[in-house]
Amino acid sequence: MSNRSIIGLVGLAILAFLLSQTFYTVDPTKQVLVRQFGALVGNPKTEPGLYAKIPLVQDIVKIDRRLLDYEAAEFEIIAGDQKRMVVDAYARFRIVNARQFVETVPGGEPALQGILDSLINSEIRGVLSGVPLHAVLTEQRATLMEDITKRVNAKTKDQGVEVVDVRIKRADLPQANSQSVYNRMKTDREREAGQLRAEGDEENQRIKATADREVAVIKADAGLTAQITMGQADAEATRVYAEAFSRDKDFYSFWRSLEAYKQAFGSGGSTMVLSPDSDFFKYFSKPTSAASEKK
């Protein structure tokens, strides 16, 4: 290979290197800052496309513009009622001011994770230490998380970072306390169950007593009504008998004698000792004469 060819290849390599150092692209998920001798130059490039810089003098810093996730390590806190719990939290954030972020957080995104660790841990402890444990387990939890998010966001604005949300994924009791809490909850539930059973038995007895009283009243009213009805019926029967007797005394006497015969001879197996001339048999011997005698 001749010297001219070698020089040509070297020239092409240098040109390719200079081109690679001159042009750069901006991805839709990134924002790019240009540094010249370590100092930032101009505003961040956010529009996707091809850009140029001064080779060997300027370099670029790429910052993610998407919504990013942060996962905190589990840590233990003491709630306002002095109960311990283990908290597992996470956050979502974005870098809204790339220039401010690069100037205030030299370590970039890895260093930001350490800052968020400290801030989120501190603010969760500060808020939850002022409320009882049950507040973290109820609807009040959402309000507490909003308060924590506002506190963390107020302290990350100086780094050009906006914290969108801070949440607690899990809040459990420490393992050492779980069994004692479980036993206490079991005792409380058993006491409540006993109280409910006692109240149920009391209500059952009250309902039964009320029902028995109502039954007795209904039966008494029904008996009274029955007695009144029977009395009225007997009175009406007596009136009818009296009216019938007054219309035809002979027929009434005859009818009463027949009723007496029916009762006397219809019982079966009975024995009667009477004189044939007794008035009891007057309709047997001379029914017509008996009726005439009555007249």
Question: For residue range 192-250, what is the model confidence (pLDDT) as tens digits?
Answer: 999 999 999 999 999 999 999 999 999 999 999 999 999 999 888 888 877 777 777 77
pLDDT tens sequence across 26-45: 888 899 989 888 788 888 88
pLDDT tens sequence across 69-124: 988 888 888 887 787 888 888 899 999 999 999 888 888 888 888 899 889 999 98
3-state secondary structure of 152: helix
Pairing of strands 58-64, 30-36: antiparallel
Give domain status of residue 181, yes or no: no
Give domain status of residue 96, yes or no: yes
Claim to verify: residue 60 and residue 86 sit in the same structural domain:
no
Give domain status of residue 230, yes or no: no
Closest CA to 123 of 167, 68, 71, 70: 167
| Domain end among 158, 173, 188 | 173
Instruction: Give the whole-angstrom CA distance, residue 287 versus residue 54.
Output: 157
CA dihedral (151, 157, 163, 164) positive or negative: positive
Q: List the structure tokens of 256.
A: 């009463």
pTM (predicted TM-score): 0.52
Give domain status of residue 239, yes or no: no
Claim to verify: residue 134 and residue 95 sit in the same structural domain:
yes
Q: What is the pLDDT at residue 180? A: 64
Claim to verify: residue 84 and residue 48 sit in the same structural domain:
no
Give the alpha-carbon dihedral of 198, 200, 201, 206, to 10 degrees. 130
Give domain status of residue 191, yes or no: no
Q: List the structure tokens of 42.
A: 């101009």
pLDDT higher than threshold 70 for residue 280: no
Q: Which residues pair with residue 36 across a beta bridge?
A: 39, 58
Claim to verify: residue 14 and residue 47 sit in the same structural domain:
yes
Instruction: Give the whole-angstrom CA distance, residue 51 versus residue 37.
Output: 19
- Distance between alpha carbon 5 and the CA centroid of its chain, in Å? 83
Claim to verify: residue 73 and residue 139 sit in the same structural domain:
yes
Give domain status of residue 248, yes or no: no
Domain residue limits at 140: 68-173
